[in-house]
Amino acid sequence: MTRRPVDTGAPDRLYTVTGGRSRADDSFDLVTLVVAECQPSAGMQSEHVRILELCRHPTAVVEIAAELALPITVIRILLGDLLAVGRITARHPRLAQSAATHPDTALLQEVLHGLRNL
* Binding to other proteins, residues 9-28 (CB under 8 A): 9, 11, 13-20, 22-24
Give the per-residue SS3 of the chain.
CCCCCCCCCCHHHHHHHHCCCCCCCCCCCCCCEEEECCCCCCCCCHHHHHHHHHCCCCEEHHHHHHHHCCCHHHHHHHHHHHHHCCCEEEECCCCCCCCCCCCCHHHHHHHHHHHHCC
**Is 42 a residue that touches other proteins (CB under 8 A)?**
no
Q: Is 60 in the site for other proteins (CB under 8 A)?
A: yes
Min dist CB 36 to other proteins, Å, is 11
Of 38, 72, 79, 83, the residue at the interface with other proteins (CB under 8 A) is: 72
Give all strands of the β-sheet with 59-60 in edge-to-edge order. 59-60, 33-36, 88-91
Identified binder of other proteins from the candidate list 27, 31, 37, 84, rule CB under 8 A: 31
Rounded least distance, CB 86 to other proteins, Å: 19
Hey, what amino acid is at 9?
A: G
The residue within the footprint of other proteins, chosen from 5, 42, 86, 105 (CB under 8 A), is: 105
Residues interacting with other proteins, by CB under 8 A? Answer: 1-3, 6-9, 11, 13-20, 22-24, 29-33, 45-47, 49-50, 53-54, 56-60, 62-63, 65-68, 71-74, 91, 93-105, 108-116, 118
